[in-house]
């Protein structure tokens, strides 16, 4: 039998620290082992006793423990892990990590480790938005750490926005992704010892009656892509990911196994959905191909058409005379068209649906896109108003058989109707 994967979980301070208990439970349930390091501020929110009981391992809180130094050097703590997870990662902890400060056990381990680190931030929305935090995150990503985007929503402090800790199942999916767990294809889901079957625990309804997409793998892309120019700048767009996430939720409700390949967005993962976070179009393409085979694919993402030819290692400096001068030599290359590639792929999904953002001649443009991309349906959004990033959508569904027009509807309603139409079709 292969050795169980091992996680070192560093728990920072903050109200979200209580969610670490649920994360430990999920890690253990997946067959991995976990050892916890609790920072001094983390210990204000959860106790070492709780973490020790759940992890079934000793909890480490201080750099100055003689016992640890004789039995296991603190450096060894991080070296024995297959993945180091910092959850919750506070603004303070991220700042120390970005600055290479090592003034307690957690930060010393993080500086000493050569293992991949996954940071899961949680903080007040203004702290998240602060240029210092954003700068630190860019730095950590440039250093090779993975920083999950926080969820958006009501916060314990009474404010609203990005900064909430992602739900433990989403963190678990990210852990599995880094340890080569499943979520590659429906065939793998449920078979891997590290795996989590998104249908696990769902009642065994008669598939045709209550869960019409039972047994189908639905692959969805959502959100924007982010194409780096240098460590602090990127090309992106205003897509919020809401429509794609709503479709993923509706497909999962209908019983499908759903893989959601998401660009950088601040949205919680819908229940029962396997999420794969990506940043760039190339990463999105790789994740989509990795997720094949699928029965149905719905490409909702607003993929950047272009990316910088090469990413500058250092921040491109402004020149005094002309602020745009340093960006002038910026060469762009075309990104692959993921949808068109899927249409020609030998494992082409049985039903392939594309989206199109149009501001005029919606049906005409959508029909041309249907032919050009080789997909079965185009869902054309009228983006002349505030659709991009907004809560509602007004769409034309263009197929070989004709066109349906759905006047302005909330995005979850568009999602439900689209899934109902898919169910009719298959
Ligand atoms: O060509 P356009 O960007 O308007 O096409 C939109 C559709 O194509 C969407 O379904 C989008 O997800 C998909 N697309 C893609 N890869 C690209 C560009 C668009 O999959 N590089």
* Average pLDDT estimate for 160-165: 83
Structure confidence by residue, pLDDT tens digits, 402-418: 999 998 888 899 999 99
- Closest atom, ligand 1, to C-alpha of 342: 20
Residues 226, 280: contact at Cβ < 8 Å?
A: yes
Please say if the pLDDT value at position 245 is more than 50.
yes
Please say if the pLDDT value at position 262 is more than 90.
yes
Output the pLDDT for position 76: 79
Structure confidence by residue, pLDDT tens digits, 101-149: 999 999 999 998 989 999 999 999 899 999 999 999 999 998 899 999 9
Residues 83, 70: contact at Cβ < 8 Å?
A: no
How many other C-beta atoms are found inside a 10 Å radius of the C-beta of residue 97? 26
Q: Which among 283, 298, 299, 341 is the best mutation to test ligand 1's pocket, defined by most ligand atoms within 8 Å of the CB?
A: 299
Going from the N-terminus, what domains does the chain have, and what CATH number goes with each? 6-178 (3.40.50.1950), 207-310+317-425 (3.40.50.10300)
Residues 246, 264: contact at Cβ < 8 Å?
A: no
Output the pLDDT for position 1: 46
Q: 251 C-alpha vs ligand 1 centroid, how far in Å?
A: 21
Task: Tell me the Cα Rg of the chain.
Answer: 23
Task: Give how far the C-alpha of residue 241 lies from the chain's centroid of Cα atoms, to the nearest Å.
Answer: 11
Residue given tokens 């949808």 in the structure block = 339
- Closest atom, ligand 1, to C-alpha of 301: 12
Distance CA 60, CA 27 (A): 18
Output the pLDDT for position 176: 85
Q: 172 C-alpha vs ligand 1 centroid, how far in Å?
A: 29
Please say if the pLDDT value at position 386 is more than 80.
no
pLDDT-based confidence at 79, cuts 50/70/90?
confident
Q: 373 C-alpha vs ligand 1 centroid, how far in Å?
A: 9
Please say if the pLDDT value at position 196 is more than 70.
no
* Residues annotated as part of the active site: 157
Structure tokens at 415: 């999602």
Structure confidence by residue, pLDDT tens digits, 285-307: 999 999 999 999 999 999 999 99
- Closest atom, ligand 1, to C-alpha of 354: 10
Output the pLDDT for position 389: 60
Please say if the pLDDT value at position 181 is more than 80.
no
Can you say whether residue 153 is alpha, beta or left, with left for phi > 0 and alpha for psi between -120 and 50 degrees?
Answer: left
Q: Average pLDDT of the chain?
A: 86
Structure confidence by residue, pLDDT tens digits, 25-64: 999 988 899 999 999 999 999 999 999 999 999 999 988 7
Please say if the pLDDT value at position 179 is more than 60.
yes
Task: Please state whether the peptide bond connecting residue 259 to the residue before it is cis, i.e. omega within 30 degrees of 0.
Answer: no
Q: 73 C-alpha vs ligand 1 centroid, how far in Å?
A: 51
Residue given tokens 């924007």 in the structure block = 224
Query: Among 174-183, 203-212, 227-236, 354-363, whose mean pLDDT is lowest?
Result: 203-212
Residue given tokens 């066109």 in the structure block = 403
233 φ/ψ angles, rounded to the nearest 5 degrees: -115, 150
Q: Which among 223, 338, 366, 398 is the best mutation to test ligand 1's pocket, defined by most ligand atoms within 8 Å of the CB?
A: 338
Q: Note the maximum CA span of the chain.
A: 75
Output the pLDDT for position 209: 53
Which helix (H) or strand (E) is 10 found in, with range? strand 6-11
Enumerate residues lining ligand 1, CB below 6 A. Answer: 221, 281, 299, 301, 303, 305, 335, 337-339, 354-356
Structure tokens at 315: 């921040």
Q: Which among 263, 345, 354 is the best mutation to test ligand 1's pocket, defined by most ligand atoms within 8 Å of the CB?
A: 354
Residues 403, 397: contact at Cβ < 8 Å?
A: yes
pLDDT-based confidence at 194, cuts 50/70/90?
very low
Output the pLDDT for position 155: 67
Output the pLDDT for position 224: 96
Q: 355 C-alpha vs ligand 1 centroid, how far in Å?
A: 7
> How many CA atoms within 13 Å lie on the side-chain side of 322?
5
What is residue 12's DSSP assignment? -
- Closest atom, ligand 1, to C-alpha of 373: 8
21 φ/ψ angles, rounded to the nearest 5 degrees: -60, -45
Residues 352, 339: contact at Cβ < 8 Å?
A: yes
- Closest atom, ligand 1, to C-alpha of 304: 21
Closest C-alpha to 63, from 122, 117, 110, 116: 110
Helices assigned H by DSSP within 280-394? 281-291, 338-344, 362-373
Output the pLDDT for position 153: 73
Please say if the pLDDT value at position 272 is more than 50.
yes
Distance CA 112, CA 105 (A): 10
Output the pLDDT for position 392: 77
Distance CA 205, CA 284 (A): 34
Q: 338 C-alpha vs ligand 1 centroid, how far in Å?
A: 7
């Amino acid at each position: 039998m292969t050795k169980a994967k091992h996680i070192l979980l560093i728990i920072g301070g903050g109200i979200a620290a209580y969610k670490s208990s649920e994360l430990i439970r999920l890690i253990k349930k997946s067959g991995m082992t976990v050892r916890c390091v609790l920072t001094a501020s983390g210990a204000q929110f959860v106790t070492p006793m709780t973490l020790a009981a759940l992890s079934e391992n000793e909890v480490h809180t201080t750099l100055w423990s003689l016992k640890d130094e004789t039995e296991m050097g603190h450096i060894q703590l991080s070296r024995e892990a297959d993945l180091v997870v910092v959850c919750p990662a506070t603004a303070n902890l991220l700042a120390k990590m970005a600055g290479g400060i090592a003034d307690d056990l957690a930060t010393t381990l993080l500086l000493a480790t050569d293992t991949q680190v996954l940071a899961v931030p949680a903080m007040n929305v203004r702290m998240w938005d602060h240029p210092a935090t954003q700068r630190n995150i860019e730095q950590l990503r440039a250093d090779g750490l993975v920083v999950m985007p926080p969820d958006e929503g009501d916060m314990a402090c009474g404010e609203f926005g990005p900064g909430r800790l992602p739900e433990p199942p989403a963190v678990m999916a990210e852990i599995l992704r880094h340890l080569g767990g499943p979520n590659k294809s429906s065939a793998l889901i449920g078979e891997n010892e590290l795996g989590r079957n998104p249908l696990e625990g769902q009642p065994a309804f008669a598939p045709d009656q209550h869960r019409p997409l039972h047994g189908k793998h639905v692959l969805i892309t959502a959100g924007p892509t982010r194409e780096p120019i240098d460590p602090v700048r990127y090309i992106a767009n205003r897509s919020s990911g809401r429509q794609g996430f709503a479709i993923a939720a509706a497909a999962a409700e209908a019983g499908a196994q759903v893989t959601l390949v998401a660009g950088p967005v601040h949205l919680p993962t819908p229940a029962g959905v396997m999420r794969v976070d990506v940043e760039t179009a190339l990463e999105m393409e790789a994740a989509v191909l990795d997720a094949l085979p699928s029965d149905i694919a719905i490409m909702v993402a607003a993929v950047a058409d272009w990316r910088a030819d090469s990413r500058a290692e250092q921040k491109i400096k402004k020149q005094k005379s002309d602020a745009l001068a340093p960006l002038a030599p910026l060469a762009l290359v075309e990104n692959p068209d993921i949808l068109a590639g899927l249409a020609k792929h030998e494992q082409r999904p049985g039903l392939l649906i594309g989206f199109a953002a149009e501001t005029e001649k919606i049906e005409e443009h959508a029909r041309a896109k249907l032919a050009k991309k080789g997909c079965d349906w185009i869902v054309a959004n009228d983006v002349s108003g505030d659709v991009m990033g907004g809560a509602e959508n007004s769409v034309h569904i263009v197929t070989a058989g004709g066109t349906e027009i759905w006047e302005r509807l909330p995005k979850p309603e568009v999602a439900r109707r689209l899934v109902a139409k898919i169910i009719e079709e298959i």
